[in-house]
Chain A
Amino acid sequence: MSIVGQCLVGFLFGAIVGVLVQRSRFCNVAALRDAMLFKSYRNTKALLAGMMVMTLGFTLFMSFGDGKPLRFDVGLNTLIGLFIFGVGMVLAGACTVSTWVKAGEGNVGAVWALLFTFIGMFLFSLVWSFTYWPPAPSTMTGEPNLAGLQLGLSNAATLQEKFGVPAIVFGLIQAGVLYAIYRAVLRKERQVAAERGG
């Protein structure tokens, strides 16, 4: 596909997401924070439902060798980075999606958060260097580098090659686990509602 076509597909998908997220007021931060702080699960349920659909869809296409799975190494930097991100998104009150959506709604705070996300990225890129930053040299090669705290490369497509089991099998297992969590959340929600009502 040509570059312009790719950009158009991206823009179209983004616009659909923008409309749906704006109209449903879904927020990733709320999905996690509200469940922890206020025991309300409106967004958590949506997050789980979306993940179930995507797990089944992605792994189904991967079993036929279609699609464009992400390929990059995973390391402890993923864990630490997302920990920092998690703290940041609660403080900012918006994740990467909701900063864009809220900016579209006219929220100046979200534009400000977005601006500082850019600044944070740039500041961190100054620290990053080919020789200085340990995960860097190997992270783009696909070879595990334990010295750089890398844990290797794995996704449903590579698991499929390794075990000879179609990717959809892994997908079904994961969707099953997600569904169990979904049911548990529903049960918890009913319990909370009963407590509040009584």
Chain B
Amino acid sequence: MCQSLAICNGLAGGRRAGAGSTKPTQVAVWTEVFAWTEKLAPALHLTGCIRSKELRTHANHGDPMELFKKTIDPVTALILIGIANVFMFLVVGAWTVGGGETMMTGLMAQAVLGEQLNRVPFWELVFQPFIGDWRMYLSLGMLSGAFIAAVLSKEFYLRLPRSLSEWVMITVGGLLMGIGIRLAFVCNVSTFFGLSNQMNLGGYLAISGIIAGCYVGSMIYKRILEG
């Protein structure tokens, strides 16, 4: 929260120093809002994310690029994502990734197999490959958002898995993820940020499943790392 507020504050500060197009009352409103959020923060136990000192330094700089110079607190990031997700839920639906990936799989399979794909009932009865599915563009948005953020913060560079065992683990892991998503009809995003928050019974089942799977996976991971 601090980062975006800092930007707003910075802009407000910039305008205050500018040609005087902003009325003083507007600045007062902003100051009031910030004071209020600062009071609210400790109540929510999120003290790490709003610090008045930070806000003041940002107000002096007024540089939006500050966002890309340090790591955001994940709690802040997830709260912001949560708010954005609630509004997207009103318009199109809650955040999901697995559905978009399935659509992409379908489109890719269609490109390779053509008419032959109709022989697999899944692609006709449940998921008909359709280029206008918003969930696909959500995934592409995440890819480009991450790319832009990484480039701006100078964190973009090619990373390769170091060892053969890592390649094998990633391959097997990827396959299991794909199979799991299609078997369950949900991915981890719609479990944690969709189903369970809409009080769907499946959310609780899915969370218990993913925690059990994660535990077994962690044990395997530990054994491979140690062995």
Interface flags for B206-227 (1: CB within 8 Å of A; 0: not) read 1111111111111011100000
Contact in complex: A23, B122 (CB < 8 Å): no
Contact in complex: B157, A106 (CB < 8 Å): yes
Instruction: Output the least CB separation between B63 and chain A (Å).
Output: 15
A77 cross-chain contacts in B, Cβ below 8 A = 183-185
Query: Chain B: which residue is nearest A72 at the CB level?
Result: B185
Instruction: Output the least CB separation between A193 and chain B (Å).
Output: 14
Contact in complex: B157, A116 (CB < 8 Å): no
A45 cross-chain contacts in B, Cβ below 8 A = 74-75
Chain A interface size band reads 35 or more
B159 cross-chain contacts in A, Cβ below 8 A = 105-109
Contact in complex: A109, B170 (CB < 8 Å): yes
Instruction: Say whether, besides A92-B173, A121-B178, A57 and B145 are in contact (CB < 8 Å).
Output: no
Instruction: Say whether, besides A10-B138, A155-B198, A88 and B180 are in contact (CB < 8 Å).
Output: yes
Interface flags for B17-37 (1: CB within 8 Å of A; 0: not) read 000000000000000000000
Contact in complex: A84, B146 (CB < 8 Å): no
Instruction: Output the least CB separation between B152 and chain A (Å).
Output: 9
Interface of A is mostly: helix
Instruction: Say whether, besides A26-B78, A81-B185, A92-B169, A118 and B105 are in contact (CB < 8 Å).
Output: yes
Contact in complex: B141, A36 (CB < 8 Å): no
Query: Chain B: which residue is nearest A186 at the CB level?
Result: B45
Q: Does B199 contact A (CB under 8 A)?
A: yes
Contact in complex: B214, A36 (CB < 8 Å): yes
Contact in complex: B177, A70 (CB < 8 Å): no
Contact in complex: A78, B209 (CB < 8 Å): yes
Contact in complex: A91, B90 (CB < 8 Å): no
A54 cross-chain contacts in B, Cβ below 8 A = 82, 85-86, 94, 193, 197
B220 cross-chain contacts in A, Cβ below 8 A = 87, 90-91
Contact in complex: B101, A53 (CB < 8 Å): no
Query: Chain B: which residue is nearest A120 at the CB level?
Result: B178
Contact in complex: B138, A11 (CB < 8 Å): yes
Instruction: Output the least CB separation between B81 and chain A (Å).
Output: 6
Contact in complex: B146, A105 (CB < 8 Å): yes
Contact in complex: B160, A109 (CB < 8 Å): yes
Instruction: Say whether, besides A88-B174, A91-B217, A105-B156, A121 and B182 are in contact (CB < 8 Å).
Output: yes
Instruction: Output the least CB separation between A198 and chain B (Å).
Output: 23
Contact in complex: B78, A121 (CB < 8 Å): no
Which residues, 1 to 42 on A, are CB-close (under 8 Å) to B?
1, 3-4, 6-26, 28-29, 32-33, 36-37, 42
A129 cross-chain contacts in B, Cβ below 8 A = 121-122
B194 cross-chain contacts in A, Cβ below 8 A = 70
Instruction: Say whether, besides A68-B93, A104-B147, A81 and B176 are in contact (CB < 8 Å).
Output: no
Instruction: Output the least CB separation between B69 and chain A (Å).
Output: 10
Q: Does A67 contact B (CB under 8 A)?
A: yes
Q: In the assembly, what is the distance between CA of A76 and CA of B201, in Å?
A: 11
Q: Does A151 contact B (CB under 8 A)?
A: yes
Query: Chain A: which residue is nearest B3 at the CB level?
Result: A23
Instruction: Output the least CB separation between B135 and chain A (Å).
Output: 6
Contact in complex: A57, B174 (CB < 8 Å): no
Partner of B88, one of A9, A90, A124, A182: A9
Q: In the assembly, what is the distance between CA of A1 and CA of B85, in Å?
A: 17
Contact in complex: B90, A61 (CB < 8 Å): yes
Q: In the assembly, what is the distance between CA of A171 and CA of B203, in Å?
A: 13
Query: Chain A: which residue is nearest B206 at the CB level?
Result: A82
Contact in complex: B161, A109 (CB < 8 Å): yes
**11 interchain pairs (CB within 8 A)?**
A20-B72, A20-B81, A22-B153, A47-B192, A49-B82, A66-B90, A85-B181, A88-B178, A88-B213, A90-B221, A154-B200
* 6 closest residue pairs by CB, A with B: A86-B213, A14-B141, A120-B178, A18-B145, A81-B184, A92-B173
